[in-house]
Structure 1
Amino acid sequence: MKYMGEIVRNFRISRGLTLKEVCSENFSVAQLSKFERGDSEITFSKLLIILERMNISMEEFMFSLKDFELGDLELLLQQLNQHHLSQNIRQLERMIEHEDKLFHETQNKYHHLNSIMIKAMLQDVDTTFCVNETEKDIITDYLLGTDEWCYYEMILFANTIHLFNTNMLVMLSKEMVTKTVYYKEIGKNRKILIKTLINITIILLERRALAESLKLMKQIERLINKETYLYEKNVFMYVKGFYYYQKGDIETGKSMMQEAIHIFEVLESTNLAENYREHYKQITG
């Protein structure tokens, strides 16, 4: 792994910036020069100022610091999504074994939570497998006991929503909306929040919990009010159609769901169109 000063220097030079242009009243050219050479350290607050003056995000800085490799969590999620989509049961089982081994060796609770999250995805593709009640309680207790939900908590909940009964699902949905209030403006966090609320709404509609679904739909509508959320708006049109269908307005519901599927086809989002088409067939018979 490179040292932090070297990363700062690489970013600065790549942007054609001088030491003086990056410095501020908080630190001198000499201080920055020593930091870049690895001869001294600086405080985290000064590092943030430097990155801001170069228009570099902390995420970009950390990615470069790790030699452009994914972090442990991102790598785990990448593998999880890959094996879940391909329904590779054996690879999911191996991921569970690996996280259980790490938990046994380190007693780091996040490995235990990761293991349960992977089990939830395994249950989704293997009808013979079931996450037990104790494991569900561990996820619930962790989420309810965490005062501020960041990226990890949102991902953990997003991948386990199908485990919970309706009352608990509604309760945890409220927790997510409340506890992400400071972090939902971060781009990827906001997208996860929207996607998770949409998926929860679909589950609630499948269970015919119409009142609870409508409340979540109002939350989603407020979150996707920007023009940039085109994908989310199209999925939301499908969800609204599903709501009308379940409410008894069959023709309006079918029309909206079919229109959303058609838009995915026009955009050449073949897999998405096929997924929603299959869901449409299941609910309409």
Structure 2
Amino acid sequence: MKENIQMDKKLNLKIGETFALIRKAKGLTLKDVTTGEFSEAQQSKFESGESDITVSKFFVSLKNSNVSLDEFQTIYDNYTASENYSFRRELSQAYVKRDLVKLKSMVKEWEGKSANFPTRKYYKIDEKVVRAILALASGSKIMKEDVLFITDYLDDVQEWGRYELWIFGNCLNFFDNTMLSYYGSYILGRTNFYHTIHLNQQIVIRTLLNIINVWLLRSDLVQAFKYINHLRAMEISSDFFYEKIMLKYHEGHYEYLQGFREKGKKEMQKCADTLEYYGEVDQARNLEKEIEKL
């Protein structure tokens, strides 16, 4: 019980500090965000982590700050370097760099966490995801039991959120065609989830790009084209520069597999060059290695 109280206080402090950061950055006073609907003292204690406020009061403060809940969550994750944010960023960077030593270390770390805290099922899921990333980076396979564990979890969740998309996007290379088609169609039907929220949209776009890549590697042009068309119809905004480049890259790969080899390969190389020009050197090198294998 004491441990839970301490965790709650720590969480409240992080949330309050994040709100204070936003308020001060916008030049707002305590009076500006409370507007007389509750006391400034309550807001001040909330921001300092001394006490909590009700959900309704929290939403009042957000509204008066002209900040959406999703925007607050994004700022919270980045500015406070939450455990999940740091872990996923570290995992992503290790994969892009193909740092097998780091990935093996992360597998051991999560094996330890899931063994020491067996009741926390998300530790076990994260362990499976890290294993999948290591296998992907090293060109090896993962055990069927791990794939089954992941798909059982995904099947049990009726409404996927960002976490489930993150799991799927990182593990889909190891799903068979039937599972990949089934889960991919589910995502296509969730337009209400990602059409209005910027971060959700980015996560979905990257997941769909991963799906396209897998179908292309499996030489299933019909499936690949279905998802390419979907992303084209979404009209990816300039905010998602990397995603637009990767769509072009996959379109080039698609053309290559259709028989337009020189044209397709040239487009793929152009995308790799663009990423390198803008500082994504490791990602560019990975694409060039893929091009060399064609």
Whether these two folds match at TM > 0.5 is yes
Structure 1 residue runs without a partner (length 5+): none
CA 1:69–1:31: 2 relative to 1, 3 Å: closer
CA 1:210–1:9: 2 relative to 1, 3 Å: closer
Equivalent positions of 1:17-36 (< 5 A) are: 17-24=28-35, 26-29=37-40, 31-32=42-43, 35=46
Equivalent positions of 1:169-184 (< 5 A) are: 169-179=180-190, 181-183=192-194
CA 1:260–1:22: 2 relative to 1, 3 Å: same
Number of paired residues?
Answer: 279
Question: Which whole-Å CA distance do the structure 2 matches of 1:175 and 1:14 have between them?
Answer: 40
Question: Which whole-Å CA distance do the structure 2 matches of 1:131 and 1:154 have between them?
Answer: 19
Correspondence for 2:73: 59
CA 1:111–1:170: 2 relative to 1, 3 Å: same
In terms of fraction of residues, the more helix-rich structure is: 2
Say if 1:194 and 1:232, in contact at 8 Å, map to a contact too: yes
Cα distance, 1:30 vs. partner?
A: 5.8
Say if 1:92 and 1:122, in contact at 8 Å, map to a contact too: yes
3-state DSSP class of the match of 1:73?
helix
Correspondence for 1:192: 203
Cα distance, 1:40 vs. partner?
A: 5.5
Question: Which whole-Å CA distance do the structure 2 matches of 1:3 and 1:228 have between them?
Answer: 28
Identity of aligned residues (%): 28
Say if 2:17 and 2:49, in contact at 8 Å, map to a contact too: yes
Say if 2:213 and 2:250, in contact at 8 Å, map to a contact too: yes
Question: Residues 51-86 of structure 1, C-alpha deviation per residue, up to 9 Å, x if partnerless?
Answer: 23224432266359xxx4422212222332343344
3-state DSSP class of the match of 2:192?
coil
Cα distance, 1:112 vs. partner?
A: 0.9
Equivalent positions of 1:70-85 (< 5 A) are: 70-85=81-96
Relative contact order: is structure 1 or structure 2 higher (C-alpha 8 Å, sep ≥ 6)?
2
Question: Which whole-Å CA distance do the structure 1 matches of 2:136 and 2:27 have between them?
Answer: 51
Note the aligned Cα RMSD (angstroms): 3.0
3-state DSSP class of the match of 2:59?
helix
3-state DSSP class of the match of 1:243?
helix
CA 1:157–1:60: 2 relative to 1, 3 Å: closer
3-state DSSP class of the match of 1:253?
helix
Structure 2 residue runs without a partner (length 5+): 1-9
1:227 to 238, 244, 247: 238
User: Is structure 2 residue 124 aligned with structure 1 residue 112?
Assistant: yes
TM-score by length of 1: 0.82
Cα distance, 1:91 vs. partner?
A: 3.6
**Counterpart AA for 2:55:** F
Question: Which whole-Å CA distance do the structure 2 matches of 1:200 and 1:186 have between them?
Answer: 21
3-state DSSP class of the match of 1:181?
helix
Cα distance, 1:43 vs. partner?
A: 1.0
